Each structure stands twice: as C-alpha cells, then as structure tokens.
Amino acid sequence: MKRHDIEPDELFKHPGYKRVATVEGDMKLIFIAGQTPTDENYTCVAPGDFEAQYLHVMKALEIQLTAAGATWDDVVYRRMFACLPADGRGPSWSDQPLPNYGDREIRPPSTMIGVTRLGHPDFLIEIDLVAAVPAGREQS
C-alpha cells in the first residue's frame, strides 16, 4: 500500500492537517463511525467541557483503530462535528498542551463542521475516521 500526502504549492500549508491524501495498492479500508463522548451507559461524559469530551472521544477512537489493526498514522480522513457557541466563536481549550495523536507530519485531511446540536443535547463533539492499512495487517 502506498500513501501520498499532497500540499499544493498554490495553497498555504495548514498547520492542522494535510489538504490531500491518496492511497493505492493492496489495502484494507477502515471506517469508524462517529464517536461521541459517552460512557458504557450511554451517558454524556463531561457535560459542558469541550476539551474533556474531545480527549474522551480521541481515546475511544484510538481503541477502535487498534482493534482494527491501525494507528493514528493510518488515518486518511477525519471529520469532526462540533457544537459551537451561539456567538460563533470556536470551541474553548485550556492553556495546557493536548496530546499528539500520531506523527504531526502525517496529518490527515480534516473537516470540522459547526452544528447547533448533536445526538444528545450535552454532546459538544463527534468525530469519525477513515483509515487505510496494508491488506492482511492483523487486527487485535
């Protein structure tokens, strides 16, 4: 399997994601459904705390990637839905550095969509992923 990340010279290099990723060859595609900030009882984790919900979602996504035989570096597309404040500002983050998920140079193309509500009124974020790994890579 061959992955090629593209940063067109005509566009500025975005610090958070690559603009284009292509994959070709003998591969397995992995589609991970939208992960919400819920616990095993389908209760919202950390209502009102965007950062805590984000970290919870990312941990759950990492577990799912591992179960499918993938890592963050295998993610070829990420889509995030975020409930944004009514004043139109972005989500609030603390001053503490967030963990890195995979190699910072291997950033997947990504889309963030601002929404007014997700599947539960306390959810502030939902993320789904597409990953590509060489065919035959073992699942855990």
Give the pLDDT confidence score for residue 104 in this predicted structure. Answer: 79
Cβ–Cβ < 8 Å for 57, 82: no
Q: What parts of the chain have a pLDDT lower than 70? A: 87-93
Q: Report the run of H or E that residue 55 belongs to, with start and end.
A: helix 50-67
Q: Contact 107/17 with Cβ under 8 angstroms?
A: yes
What's the pLDDT score for residue 15?
A: 82
pLDDT at position 14: 81
What is the per-residue pLDDT for 92? Answer: 64
Please give the sequence-ordered ranges of beta strands (E in DSSP) within the chain, or none if there are none. Answer: 2-6, 20-24, 27-35, 75-83, 110-115, 125-134
Domains and CATH numbers, the chain: 2-87+100-134 (3.30.1330.40)
Structure tokens at 59: 């941990």
